[in-house]
Amino acid sequence: MKISHSLAGALLAALLIPAAHAHRAWIVPAATVLSSEDPWVTFDAAVSNDIFHADHAPMRLEGVKAIGPDGKEVPLQNTAVGKYRSVFDVNLKQKGTYKITSFSGGLRARWETEDGERRSWPNRGAQATEEAFAKEVPKKAKNLEVSYGSRRMETFVTAGSPDAKVFVPSNQGLELVPVTHPNDLFAGEKAEFKFLIDGKPAVGAKVEIIPGGMRYRNQQDSINVQSDKNGSITVTWPKAGLYWMSVSYEDDKAKKPAKKRSASYVATFEVLPE
Amino acid sequence: MAFRRYLSALSLFICAPVLAAELSISVEIPKLDVAEYHRPYVAVWLERDGAHAANLAVWYQLERNGQGAEKGEEWLKDMRQWWRRSGRNLDMPVDGISGATKAPGVHTLTFTPGKGVLADLPAGEYQLLVEAAREVGGREVLKVPFQWPPQKEESHSAKGSSELGTLNLQLIP
């Protein structure tokens, strides 16, 4: 009984870990640079181990939003959730850069009961409200760990000339501020991005960049860098193609009742040949 | 980008335009033996000190089969370098630059001294770029460096290997 309980607890804990750590979540646009009037872009969204190979689980689209160059939300059209991937289309009626984004954040807690059973909060799928937290999480418990975690996932597409209006920070969680525009990336060139955590430079964020097409090579070929004192990284794209970037950040500057603040940011970029 | 623009704006003040010289370009579109042939999209432009200076021609699908020119704009981005340097900032079509796609053969562009693009072309180190992108085909960029204004009659050329044939630039002081 005890064993199965703690097993269940461990499983639950595993499910609560941001997907970026277990499987990899991604949203891939079929094109990122568009020249026609009134273009459309179709997107695939899934969770899988091999980047951009949809073979594990579709992404739920409830939290996914498209934001237009004027900062207003644009509808996802023709949405469908398949066995392994979700799809949707976005009509780029205005010129400029669009952001496809999904954000979630909330309190999380872990502790052990007097009998040594592991507990975690919130239950999968439950709302992590502060009210529920006060009711359901003990004030004192063995190995009580309270953290505030957030996840953001994005990709960008541009009709005409790239602009920066969708990059105005919300000062929530981990965010990308472009020095180099994400729709202006070319093989052999250096790109610079800055990361913010709750609006301040995210110093020492761990960044992993993996080229797509893992099935056709033997190594991950990941680029690993850490953000500097300004929260910035630079990367030189080794070749043209799609790239998946995962950024993780953690510190102890969380708002009460959390002690730990952790955040992840995942994005897909297209790098074109010069 | 902004800095480059600033630089080129600055150089407009420093370098007076040179009025008398003539510039002509010939672009060869090769005849290709392929199952499905479409005429290539071609962009011809000048860069000065690495920054975009002037567009000379953009050949793309204008009206066809009742489809408006807007349809043809869909593939302008395939001329990736031109699109990045200039195209994405333009509202196509542009008078005097836009034209229909051309059949295989040699096409000549001549620019009259002191008129059009040559009216305000400051002295400097230039590069002529020609980029071709073909539907269900490939893409190729040719570059020819030159000095403007020319000191003597000069001819420069480059040879393509796939989507472009010989590119020739003729300069007459």
B39 to chain A nearest CA, in Å?
19
Inside any domain, residue B3: no
A134 lies in some domain: no
Number of domains in chain B: 1
Rounded Cα distance between B26 and B48, Å, is 20
Cis amide bond preceding B104, omega within 30: no
Residue given tokens 């609006």 in the structure block = A199
Sign of CA dihedral A191, A196, A201, A203: negative
pLDDT band at A20 (very low <50, low <70, confident <90, very high): very low
Residue A143 lies in a domain: no
DSSP class per residue in B67-124:
B-HHHHGGGGGGSHHHHHHTGGGS-SS-TTTEE----SEEEEEEE-TTSGGGGG-BSE
Interface mutation target, options A33, A34, A36, chain B, most CBs of B under 10 Å: A36
User: How do beta strands A142-159 and A33-34 pair?
Assistant: parallel
Pick the closest to residue B122 from B49, B61, B60, B57 (CA basis): B49
User: Chain A: residue nearest B91 by CA?
Assistant: A160
Q: Is it the case that residue A167 has pLDDT exceeding 80?
A: yes
A18 is a domain residue: yes
Residue A123 phi, psi (nearest 5):
-65, 155
pLDDT at residue A39, rounded to an integer: 96
Distance (Å, rounded) from C-alpha A70 to C-alpha A67? 8
Is B11 a member of any domain? no
pTM: 0.85
A42 found inside a domain: yes
A16 secondary structure, DSSP code: H
Can you give the CATH number for the domain in which B117 is found? 2.60.40
Q: B6 in a domain, yes or no?
A: no
Give the structural domain span for A153: 12-105+148-271
Structure-token pair, residue B116: 């059009």
Note whether residue B2 is domain-resident: no
- In total, the C-beta contacts within 8 angstroms joining chain A to chain B are 34
User: Has residue B39 been placed in a domain?
Assistant: yes
Residues A274, A229: Cα–Cα separation, whole Å: 31
Can you give the pLDDT at residue B18? Answer: 52
Which of A263, A50, A69, A28 shows the shortest CA–CA distance to A154? Answer: A28
**Domain span holding position B32:** 19-172
3-class DSSP assignment, residue A251: strand
Q: In this complex, which of B73, B80, B89 lies closest to A36 when CB atoms are compared? A: B73
Q: Is residue B73 part of a domain?
A: yes
Q: Return all residues near A8 (Cβ < 8 A) that are at least 6 apart.
A: none
Q: Are A225 and A236 in contact (CB under 8 A)?
A: no
Prior bond to A122 cis, omega within 30?
A: yes
CATH number at residue A205: 2.60.40.1930
- Taking the Cβ of residue A68 and every Cβ of chain B, the question of whether any pair is shorter than 8 Å is answered with no
- A residues 157-196 lying closer than 8 A (beta carbon) to B: 158, 160-162, 184, 186
Place of tokens 């335009």: B17
Under 8 Å between Cβ of A26 and A133? no
Answer whether A212's CB lies under 8 Å from A220's CB: no
**Taking a C-beta distance cutoff of 8 angstroms, is the pair B157, B167 a contact?**
yes
8 Å CB contact of B74 and A274:
no
Q: Is residue B54 part of a domain?
A: yes
When pLDDT is averaged across residues A47-55 and rounded to a whole number, the result is: 93
Per-residue tens of pLDDT for chain B, all 173 residues: 444 444 444 444 445 555 568 899 999 999 999 999 999 999 999 999 889 999 999 999 987 767 776 789 999 999 999 999 999 999 888 888 999 999 999 999 999 888 888 888 899 999 999 999 999 999 999 999 999 999 999 999 999 999 999 999 999 98
Q: Do A39 and B74 touch (CB under 8 A)?
A: yes
In a domain, B1, yes or no: no
Which residues from A are below 8 Å from B89, CB to CB? 160-161
Q: Which two structure tokens, joined as six digits, stand for B144?
A: 């020819």
Q: What percent of chain B has pLDDT over 90?
A: 70
pLDDT band at A131 (very low <50, low <70, confident <90, very high): confident
Q: State how far the alpha carbon of B24 is from the alpha carbons of B40, B129, B156, in Å.
A: 21, 13, 11
Task: Give the pLDDT band (50/70/90) at residue A165.
Answer: very high
Q: Is the Cβ–Cβ distance between A237 and A186 less than 8 Å?
A: yes
> Across the interface, which of A34, A37, A272 has its CB nearest the CB of B80?
A272
* Number of structural domains found in chain A: 1
